[in-house]
Structure 1
């Protein structure tokens, strides 16, 4: 046994084969990317496993135990061996207890296998939480046993047999998660001395090798040795390096490269057009993560047939060709491989489907789960109380430009990059932020940390250079959390209304001389900005749930407006969304202000004490709006406070916004402001002059008696709320023409059917095609799905589908008449539509 004497954040345990060690090293990289330094990690494995070779080069400290697995054969010799194994396991567990007692880790992370058993048993005895990582579709015995008492179980695939499973994707090494095959292929082939123009087949049996695949490789090479367009990279495994050597003629034209193994698997993948491999969990995760065509031949002798389960996941998704080794001869298998390498269309189809399937591995949330189990949210934060050099990738976006603004006004040296110039970039430069147009790895030199938008790929060259230079890369959530830690932070959360409610609360606090700092998802019109740092005690922040940011913020108080279905790409299920908000509210000491009109918020308030509000005058909420009226595009209402069974009328609010949803938003802002010492009359006075938020019923122009409005509404209930408020007793619109641009292919694939009743208040409905927002197209998912949903639910509706932007502008310019209200809605590039239509109507196509 070897051991270390210093304390660490995490012990990662497992080993024996590369199928355990490589995922373990990938987990170590993920934790480092999340801000855990290398010297805070420690590996515990077997003294006879491949970890003795693979781990030292990572620079992570390691302890090795004498341990062996149980035999599964029924024989007298196996029984004797298993009795010895019990004794060895007891000794190894005692040694593991000494190691963990010395290291005092916050968490133990198990990748399974017999080498993980001593450390996880010791962790249980020492009350150290364990995260069990299961990346096989059919988990092994050690993993199943550990999962029973684990604090969390991370799985790579759903459905899972584990009741406490969290879908995180599989751990894949950083160099493969960020690998771009097309841009690295030529250089990889040069490094491997492979002709650039050949069709390249990689045949690999993993670190231990495969006798079956080695014999197939020999057959394939010998049968096709006259092919001048083929190259075979053959990774035999150390024990087979001298076996099944192909017999080639002196004039053979095929290129054959034979290696026992390689530490540069990224080059092999980049150089290859097709991979022929066993179906170990790591291999399946890797080929899907990088998106390469593969032939998977599951080992029929794998425990509990887990390789077949792994392969069928990718095969069923169209991302691999799966072949049963018992059903084909070597000749037949070799012929199928050659047929595939010669079918360019099929290769591309497999690669594309594999990459789509691998998204859950590229965007793994495993590190976040481990950090949460360890209770290390605070460890992720940086100290922004001292001057810091910060670079922001994607600084021109609404979220990151607001963060950059706050960081600069806090006194930090801030730089940024984006792909194009904009008015936002000009505004940032006026604050002294140096912005680079285009991405350049050199800009991160000298930085203390780098942050960026969730929309920026992890393979971005600035992120890569930062990590290569040991510069910490923070997520948007981590950066925002670090800002929140510098003040008494009030988070405004919920599916709808966050931006407007945040803006109202900020306006009230400013009017009451509280001078809050703020960071909001849109520009507050009266302030002409959406972010500012005043260095005061209070900080109002929009707590975005789209990527789980809300759950990472250290907040002193929160408003939750409502909880609806959205962001299923992140949460997977509606119940997961609701659970995240339940936990979010429970993690905040208070004040907590929740909308009692929303059933999920009402349920949360029954468990977590909260100040509640409602726009139902019969409600028992703490703050109630009654006598609600809408006229001249404005709202008025009376606020009553229910206090100790008494109803106290606080007064009247005149709000220069239309719609019941804005009455609810205003009531939330009033309720929270009063928790921080603002008088009701101060709040009401501030709201009477509230100028609104950009892209919220934003009147963009009037042309020939027609009014053109832009709105950010893009979810079913948001659209219904906005349209229900467009007519009040004083409005004289001839028609309400609603134009909607659906957003995100993945979102529409899951919730397009929910738009059926969203447009009942419109006279004419025009649906455009989907704005991608960086998501990949999905076959059959277009704006037509929304049209179909509307006609199915409201068959009398007048709905028109206009997927072409040019045709859309031309149609609206001709269709809109005097007295019409044309309201265009969505969160994509539809914001410019009113100006385009007005310009076309005026005869200016530019």
Structure 2
């Protein structure tokens, strides 16, 4: 929502808005010229002519209800963003995993190559300073979220699909419905457009083949697979390159893991499609140092390094732990994991445990409910039942931090993982490693395991 508001303000659209909490981004929007309110009240509508709401806003929200009663147009966030992008060459990044990182990589790469695109990303990116901006070049880079089907509101010229797996089954119901939604997404591409898909992912490859058979647009494959149009060579940190029809080019990456090398290949492919010279594209990737909560370094103490990752699907957890292994070298990896959503935990409990068992120590918190009500019989115990010898459940706050700190030795990596408030444990673990536990053992912001 803040991304949409930020770009609309920059393009001269009068914007007002509200949120339940006084978030830091609201001060930024206020300074940019938006009229901001904390809390929900029908009076906040003021002279608004259109109302934009995100998926998290409940139908009985008083401002939303008042807008509908007044006959005002009500748009989903994605519809508003699509309207903002309408006059630009739109590049949308979809996929079950890696959307934010890939969108950020494309943006940083294009900026480094001398372009100034508009962009909207679902994470903060230190190299960009903000999650959205209005650029001077008529190119718009946007993350396309499939979680609620809203990515079907976009009309891209270039669509990137990093991978396709069953997820968000609370919305889709079945895996087949997930695959069908991606088919509808690629069907939106025009004849002179292109689908940029990962050849290494079975779901993305199958989608690409179905798109080719449909014949509505061009398809470009990237990855390590032999039939990829752009071939990735990943020999580990410091040894990543990509082969194109113009030759082989070394990529200067500062983020670890095969998944990030593939994300970089996708960004490289988009840059070439937009006319960037391959030499410039390869060099510009050096400016990307990661996105917020994507294997983000939080600090360290006693020789232990602490990272935080947003991973909330088994495939993402495996990728995060693989990256941690590459950074840890011969030392151990300890993960503090918080499951996100009761429905996702129910569907993927065994798969989460199998992913977590790649760590030397796997500590699991209670489920972060987010938008869901509890489901009878569903708890983190479903995951714990499949954990190996290094895994167990832990209570929130002090118990969790003490368990992590007790397990870690100099040279080890600690990784906090999940889409909930587990991120607040990172600074607390760093503090405990440096100075010992706080007196009350409670992370700032009132972290809880529910």
Separation in 1, partners of 2:338, 2:61: 29
- Structure 1 match to 2:400: 808
Once the 2 structures are TM-superposed, how far is the Cα of residue 512 of structure 1 from its aligned partner?
2.1
Pick closer, same or farther for the CA change 1:625–1:732 going to 2, 3 Å: closer
2:224 is aligned to 615
What corresponds to 2:249 in structure 1?
Answer: 651
For residues 50 and 304 of structure 2, what CA distance do their matches in structure 1 show? 50
1:743 and 2:344 aligned = no
Q: C-alpha separation between the residues in 2 aligned to 1:425 and 1:697?
A: 26
Alignment of 1:461-472 (within 5 A): 461-472=62-73
Task: List per-residue Cα deviations over 1:97-146 (Å, max 9, x = no partner).
Answer: xxxxxxxxxxxxxxxxxxxxxxxxxxxxxxxxxxxxxxxxxxxxxxxxxx
Who is 2:215 aligned against?
Answer: none
Deviations 1:731-787 (A, max 9, x none): 445320011100011221222232232124310100110001121011121111111
Asked if 1:674 corresponds to 2:275, the answer is: no
**Residue 130 of structure 1: aligned partner:** none
Q: 2:323 aligns with which of 686, 709, 725?
A: 725
The separation in 1 between residues aligned to 2:259 and 2:409, in whole angstroms, is: 28
Indicate the SS of the match to 1:725. helix
Tell me what 1:753 maps to.
350
Aligned partners of 1:635 and 1:658 also within 8 Å: no
In the alignment, structure 1 residue 776 sits paired with structure 2 residue 388: no
Structure 1 CA distance for aligned equivalents of residues 169 and 151 of structure 2: 16
Indicate the SS of the match to 2:251.
strand
Larger Rg: 1
Q: Is the 8 A contact 1:650 1:680 kept in 2?
A: no
State the TM-score, normalizing by the size of structure 2: 0.92
d(CA) in 1 for partners of 2:329 and 2:195?
A: 41
Q: How many residues align?
A: 430
CA contact (8 A) 2:328 2:413 kept: no
Instruction: Give the distance between the partners of 2:284 and 2:136, measured in 1 at CA.
Output: 22
Contact kept in structure 1, 2:125 and 2:292, CA below 8 Å = yes
Tell me how far 1:712 sits from its aligned partner: 0.9
- Out of 539, 561, 579, which is 2:180 matched to? 579
Instruction: Give 1:833's aligned residue.
Output: 425
**Number of the residue aligned with 1:594:** 197
Relative to 1, partners in 2 of residues 1:716 and 1:650: Cα closer, same or farther, differing over 3 Å?
same
TM-superposed deviation, 1:566: 0.5
Match in the other structure for 1:663 = 261
Q: Alpha carbon RMSD of aligned pairs, Å? A: 1.7
- 1:635 CA drift (Å): 4.1
Structure 2 residue 118 is the aligned partner of structure 1 residue 517? yes
Q: Indicate the SS of the match to 2:103.
A: helix
Determine if contact 1:591/1:672 at 8 Å carries over to the other structure. no
Deviation track 1:354-395 (CA, whole Å, cap 9, x = no partner) reads: xxxxxxxxxxxxxxxxxxxxxxxxxxxxxxxxxxxxxxxxxx
Structure 1 position 477, deviation (Å) = 2.2
- 1:583 aligned counterpart, secondary structure: helix
For residue 605 of structure 1, the aligned residue among 208, 227, 247 is: 208
Report SS of the residue matched to 2:66: helix
Aligned to 1:625: 232
- Please report how far the alpha carbon of residue 611 of structure 1 lies from its aligned counterpart in structure 2 after TM superposition: 0.6
Matches within 5 A, 1:465-544: 465-544=66-145
The CA distance in 2 between the partners of 1:838 and 1:724, in whole Å, is 22
Aligned 8 A contact 2:336 2:404 in 1: no
Which sections of structure 2, spanning at least 5 residues, go unmatched?
213-218, 443-450
- CA shift for structure 1 position 535: 4.7
Question: Tell me, which stretches of 5 or more residues in structure 1 are unaligned?
Answer: 1-399
Change (3 A) 1:530 1:722: same
Cα shift readout 1:632-669 (whole Å, capped 9, x = no counterpart): xx44322112x5xxxx5331112111100000000011
**Deviation at residue 710 of structure 1 after TM alignment:** 0.5
Q: Which has the higher contact order (CA 8 A, sep 6+)?
A: 2
> What's 2:416 paired with?
824
Provide the secondary structure at the position in 2 that maps to 1:654.
coil
Task: Please state whether the residue corresponding to 2:116 is helix, strand or coil.
Answer: coil
1:598: Cα distance to partner?
Answer: 1.4
Counterpart among 690, 707, 713 of residue 305 in structure 2:
707
For normalisation by structure 1, the TM-score amounts to 0.50
Distance 1:635 1:547, change over 3 A: farther
Instruction: Give the 5 Å matches for 1:11-30.
Output: none
Q: Distance in 1 between matches of 2:356 and 2:100?
A: 23
User: Equivalent residue for 2:448?
Assistant: none
